[in-house]
Structure 1
Amino acid sequence: MSNLPIENIRSFSDAHPKPSALHFQYGTAGFRTLGSTLDSVIFRVGILAGLRSKRLDGRTIGVMVTASHNPEEDNGVKLVDPRGEMLEASWEAHATVVANAPTTDALLEALDALVKTAKIDLSKPARVVYARDTRPSGPALISALEDGFKALGVEARDGGVTTTPILHYLVKAINTKGTKESYGEDSEDGYYTKLSGAFKKLIAGKTKPDPLIIDCANGVGASAAAKLATYLGDSLPLILENTDITTPGVLNHACGADYVKTQQKLPPSLIDRLQPGQRACSLDGDADRLMYYYLDERGQFHMLDGDKIAALVAAFIVELVKLAGLESDVKVGVVQTAYANGASTKYLAERLPVKCVPTGVKHLHHAAEHYDIGVYFEANGHGTVLFSQQTQETFAKYEPSTPAQSTALNHLINLTQLINQTVGDALSDMLLVEVVLTHKSYAGAEWNSLYADLPNRLVKVVVSDRNTFKTEDAERRLVSPPGLQAKINELVLRYEGGRSFVRPSGTEDVVRVYAEAALKSQADELAFRVAGLVYDEAGGDPSKRPSEFLP
Structure 2
Amino acid sequence: MIRSQAALKMANNNHNYKTVYAFAREMHPKTEKFDVQYGTAGFRAKASTLGYVMYRMGLLAVLRARYKKGCIGVMITASHNPEPDNGVKLIDPCGEMLEQSWEKWATKFANVGDDQLEEVINEIVTQLNIEMTQRVEILVGKDTRPSSPSLAKALCDGILALSGKPIDYGIVTTPQLHYFVYCRNSRHEYGLPTEEGYYRKLCNAFKKLRGQKFDVGNYSNEVFYDGANGVGAKKIKYFQECLGDSLKIGMYNDELIGTGKLNYMCGADYVKTTQSFPHGVPQEINQRCCSVDGDADRLMYYYLDEDKKCHLLDGDRIAILIAEYLKEVVESTGLEVDLGLVQTAYANGASTKYITKKLKVPVSFACTGVKYLHHQALKFEIGVYFEANGHGTVIFKKEFKEKLRSALKDSSSDEVKSAIEKLLVVIDLVNETVGDAISDMLLVETILHSKGWSVQDWEGAYTDLPNRLMKVSVKDRAKIQTTDAERRCVKPDGLQDAIDAIVDKYNAGRSFVRPSGTEDLVRVYAEASTREEADQLALEIALKVYEMAGGIGPEPTL
Letter paired with 2:386: F
Matches within 5 A, 1:469-484: 469-484=480-495
Q: Corresponding residue for 1:299?
A: 308
Provide, for residues 504-537 of structure 1, a one-character-per-residue CA deviation record: whole Å limited to 9, x for no partner.
1112221110000000111111111111111111
Q: Secondary structure at the match of 1:303?
A: strand
2:46 is matched with which residue?
Answer: 34
State the SS of the aligned residue for 2:325: helix
Runs of 4+ in 1 over 6 A off after TM superposition: none
Shift of 1:550: 2.8
Distance 1:310 1:404 in 2: 27
Structure 1 Cα separation of the partners of residues 259 and 478 of structure 2: 37
Cross-structure match for 1:263? 274
Q: Cα distance, 1:379 vs. partner?
A: 0.3
Counterpart among 89, 94, 97 of residue 105 in structure 2? 94
String of CA shifts for 1:408-448, please: whole Å, max 9, x gaps. Answer: 21221011100000000000000000000000000011000
Select which of 332, 341, 346 maps to 2:348: 341
Distance 2:557 2:31 in 1: 39
> SS at the partner of 2:54?
helix
Q: Where does 1:10-29 land on structure 2 (aligned, <5 Å)? A: 10-29=22-41
Q: CA shift at 1:42, angstroms?
A: 0.4
- Work out the CA distance in 2 between the residues paired with 1:423 and 1:262: 22
- Note if 1:117 corresponds to 2:124: no
Where in structure 2 are the equivalents of 1:351-430 lying within 5 Å?
351-399=360-408, 400-430=411-441
Question: Which AA in structure 2 matches 1:344?
Answer: S
> Which residue of 2 is the match for residue 494 of structure 1?
505
Structure 1 residue 205 displacement after superposition: 4.3
Match of 1:47 in 2: 59
Of 539, 546, 551, the match for 1:528: 539
Equivalent position of 2:517 in the other structure: 506
Q: Aligned equivalents of 2:541 and 2:304: distance in 1?
A: 33
SS class of match (1:268): coil
Are 1:20 and 1:102, in contact at CA under 8 Å, matched by a contact in 2?
no
Establish whether residue 550 from structure 1 lines up as the match of residue 528 from structure 2. no
Cα distance, 1:20 vs structure 2: 4.2
- Is there any run of 5+ residues in structure 2 with no aligned partner, and where? 1-14
Could you tell me which residue of structure 2 aligns to residue 161 of structure 1? 171
Give CA-to-partner distance per residue, 1:145-197, whole Å, 9 cap, x none.
0110121111110010110000000000111125xxx1101100000000000
1:195 maps to what in 2? 202
Deviation at 1:276, TM superposition (A): 1.8
SS of the residue corresponding to residue 502 of structure 1 reads strand
TM-score by length of structure 2 reads 0.94
Q: For residues 198-209 of structure 1, what are the structure 2 equivalents within 5 Å?
A: 198-208=205-215, 209=220
**Secondary structure at 1:416 match in 2:** helix
Alignment map for 1:308-347 (pairs within 5 Å): 308-326=317-335, 328=336, 330-347=337-354
Structure 1 unmatched ranges of 5 or more: none
- Does the 8 Å CA contact 2:214/2:221 hold for their aligned counterparts? no
Q: How far apart are 1:36 and its partner, in Å? A: 0.9
- Asked whether the 8 Å contact 1:296–1:445 carries over to 2, the reply is no
Q: 2 CA distance for matches of 1:20 and 1:8?
A: 22
Q: Is the 8 A contact 1:4 1:112 kept in 2?
A: no
User: The residue matched to 2:280 in structure 1 has which SS?
Assistant: helix
Amino acid at match of 1:275: E
Residues 309-328 of structure 1: CA distance to partner in whole angstroms, max 9, x if unpaired? 011110000011111111x2
For the 8 Å contact 1:245–1:251, the answer to whether it is kept is no
Q: Which amino acid aligns with 2:38?
A: Y
In the superposition, the TM-score normalised over structure 1's length comes to 0.95
Separation in structure 2 between the aligned mates of residue 205 and residue 162 of structure 1, nearest angstrom: 31
Partners of 2:72 and 2:181 within 8 A in 1: yes
C-alpha deviation, 1:274, in angstroms: 3.3
In the alignment, the residues of structure 2 paired with residue 119 and residue 45 of structure 1 have an alpha-carbon distance, to the nearest angstrom, of 19
- Per-residue deviation at 1:380? 0.2
Percent identical: 50
Aligned to 2:8: none
**Mapping of residues 70-219 of structure 1, within 5 Å:** 70-103=81-114, 105-178=115-188, 182-208=189-215, 209-219=220-230
Q: Tell me the number of residue pairs that the alignment of Structure 1 and Structure 2 aligns.
A: 536
The 1-side partners of 2:305 and 2:38 are apart by 43
Q: How many angstroms apart in 1 are the aligned matches of 2:16 and 2:486? A: 42
Contact 1:206 1:438 in 2 (8 A): no
Give, in angstroms, the shift of residue 338 of structure 1: 0.4
Q: Distance in 1 between matches of 2:110 and 2:229?
A: 30
Give distance in 1, aligned partners of 2:95 and 2:347. 26
- CA change 1:227–1:205 in 2 (3 A) is closer
What's the Cα RMSD here? 1.3
| Matched residue type, 1:365 | H
Change (3 A) 1:333 1:206: farther
> Shift in Å at residue 234 of structure 1?
1.0
**Contact 2:288/2:303 (CA < 8 Å) preserved in 1?**
yes
Residue 539 of structure 1 deviates from its aligned partner by: 1.7
Give the Cα separation in 2 of the matches to 1:239 and 1:190: 24
How far did residue 407 of structure 1 move? 2.7
Q: What is the CA–CA distance in structure 1 between the aligned matches of 2:212 and 2:200, rounded to whole Å?
A: 20
